[in-house]
Amino acid sequence: MKYSLEKRALEKQQSDCIVLPLFEDLQLSPAANYVDQSSGNNITKIVERKDFDAKAGSTMLLSSESEQHTRILLMGLGKQDAFNPATLKKSVLAATNVVKNTQTKTALFALSGITLPDYSSAWLARFSIEAISDALYVFDEFKTQKADKVTLDAVSFYCGEDIDDALVEQAIKEGSAIASGVSVTKTLGNLPGNICTPTYLAEKAKVIAKNNNAISTTVLDEKKMASLGMHSLLSVSAGSEEPAQLIVMEYKGGNASDRPHILVGKGITFDSGGISLKPGEAMDEMKYDMCGAASVFGTMTAIAELQPAINVTAIIAAAENMPDGKATKPGDIVTTLSGQTVEILNTDAEGRLVLCDALTYAEQHHNPASIVDIATLTGACIIALGHHTTGLLGNDDSLADELLNAGTKAADKAWRLPLFDEYQTQLDSNFADMQNIGGRPAGTITAACFLSRFAKEMKWAHLDIAGTAWTSGKNKGATGRPVPMLTQYLLNKAG
């Protein structure tokens, strides 16, 4: 999809479909007024008859006799005092779903006259691109009957004549990159576990490096991990025919001496629970247990496209958690890369077992300026925060605030949970330095407490995306979160 800024005056613009936003007060913007006058006052007549209520997500498609625009699409934004990024995305998504079902090749979103509280006009274009991409995303790789090809191939944005063109063009660039990253994340998440294995992810990382000069990829196999002492990570893959992989992607956009900001992704490509076998119902959704890793792939895709002046290292701990005669058993004790020992009481609490070794590897080999791990870690996070908000915990207030602010700005929100020392006692073990579960109370917090023991010397934050990484039900699929938050966080760090 080609996105661009429409700089020409209204009378010089042309498109197959012009999208005109309206709030519920039905006051026409300058662009809507111009189109109305050039199309026989059709919009005014519709407003006067109250045929269009302009509620958020509502649309009305009109044919136009104008030579400039073949179609006019009215796009409802809801109440002006309730307008926010989520409303905008909902409305643009609905509008795009209408446009893609026509023979439209070029669409123009006339965003002039709209203001988004706490954002510049440029963000209207960026958020719109993310919503458009979401509406156009299709995953039909394994269907014999493919989705109908969409004719829409170019979208432009008219934001008025008194805007900063450079800011809007940068926003379009960022929106396009984030949309690409989100699409990569969705596709990796949606792939079945028999295709998207740890080895598949390793090969994907090599392809990304091959296609981007600023990125290099290194892959550690099980033999190398064993020689280093990553026995916690390897305990998860012990029962699987698929070998674990530790994938390292390095983006070097900053000075050679700058310490990297590190993203660590949980890449459990299928989680049966191991010997602590999960219930059969909805177990197919455990292919999404690598969405932390997928979001890191997506963020690196966006960063490679935007080329910010920052060094970023991505570490993916990829494994498959399966039961067989060699699988780790409840009660087994393993030694982590850090030297600390873990009594594994539940093999279904495996994400923390791969992440802890990845965190130690990052500290020992990459000297991080900061480190953020991303994981579909606990069902408890879904109980606490539902499916709208990512859980955030960490040992550094400034890093946590940076992530919270980036999430708010990118409309990809997180909420910080406490990480008090009192919770640590729930991990006490009679036989090892710690156990890998802390019981039902505060499950998200005790999981983070476990990880915190491997990040004591680092500025570290943990994102639990169990509730936000995918959607269940009829519209089942990966969401691409938290790529917008992570990309914004890194752009902010780059300055």
CATH of the domain at 101: 3.40.220.10
- Give the chain's domain count: 2
pLDDT per residue as tens digits for the range 5-56: 999 988 899 999 999 999 999 999 989 999 998 888 889 999 999 999 999 9
Let me know whether 87 and 200 are in one domain.
no
Q: Are residues 66 and 193 in the same domain?
A: no
In a domain, 60, yes or no: yes
Number of Cβ atoms within 10 Å of the Cβ of 180: 18
Close Cβ partners of 476 (under 8 Å, ≥ 6 residues apart): 285, 470
Looking at the structure, do residues 324 and 257 belong to the same domain, yes or no? yes
170 assigned to some structural domain? no
Q: Are residues 269 and 408 in the same domain?
A: yes
The whole-angstrom separation of Cα 55 and Cα 75 is 9
Domain-embedded: residue 174: no
Confirm if 163 and 122 have CB atoms less than 8 A apart: yes
pLDDT confidence band for 57 (50 / 70 / 90): very high
* 259 classed as catalytic: no
Angle between helices 122-136 and 165-190 (to 10 degrees): 30
Residue 169 resides in a domain = no
In whole angstroms, what is the distance from residue 129 CA to residue 97 CA? 13
Angle subtended at Cα 325 by Cα 345 and Cα 339, rounded to the nearest 5 degrees: 45
Indicate if the alpha-carbon torsion angle 260, 264, 269, 275 is positive or negative.
positive
pLDDT at 65 over 80: no
The CATH number given to whatever domain includes residue 206 is: 3.40.630.10
Residue 411 is assigned to a structural domain of this protein: yes
Q: How far apart are CA 222 and CA 206, in angstroms?
A: 18
Give the pLDDT score at 39. Answer: 80
Q: What is the pLDDT of residue 79?
A: 96
Q: Distance (Å, rounded) from C-alpha 31 to C-alpha 78?
A: 18
How far is Cα 364 from Cα 472, in angstroms, rounded to an integer?
38
Span 380-396, average pLDDT: 98
Q: Are residues 132 and 27 in the same domain?
A: yes
Residues 158 and 188 grouped into a single domain: no
Clarify whether residues 114 and 201 are in a common domain.
no
CA-CA distance, 451 to 274, in Å (whole number)? 20
The verdict on residue 256 lying in a domain is yes
Tokens found for residue 354? 């791969």
Judged against a pLDDT cut of 80, whether residue 111 lies above it is answered with yes
**Non-local CB neighbours of 449 within 8 Å, separated by 6+ positions:** 419, 423, 424, 426, 427, 438
Q: What contacts 431, CB < 8 A, 6 or more positions away? A: 333, 343
Is-cis flag, bond preceding 441, omega within 30?
Answer: no
Last residue of a domain, one of 133, 162, 191: 162
Instruction: For residues 127 and 253, state if they share a domain.
Output: no
Beta strands in 160-260 (DSSP E): 215-220, 245-252
* Residue 178 counted as domain residue: no
Pair (203, 156) in one structural domain: no
105 lies in the same domain as 22: yes
- Domain range for 143: 2-162
Are 151 and 189 part of one and the same domain?
A: no
- Per-residue pLDDT, averaged over 402-406, amounts to 98
Confirm if 466 and 382 have CB atoms less than 8 A apart. yes
0.85 exceeded by the pTM? Answer: yes
Catalytic residue among 100, 278, 329, 416: 278
Give the whole-angstrom CA distance, residue 405 versus residue 398: 10
Q: Is the predicted pLDDT of residue 393 greater than 90, yes or no?
A: yes
Question: What residue type is assigned to position 17 of the chain?
Answer: C
From 352, 409, 413, 493, the catalytic residue: 352
Q: Does residue 456 surpass a pLDDT of 80?
A: yes
For residue 88, the model assigns a pLDDT of: 97
**352 catalytic per annotation:** yes
If asked whether residues 117 and 257 sit together in one domain, one would say no
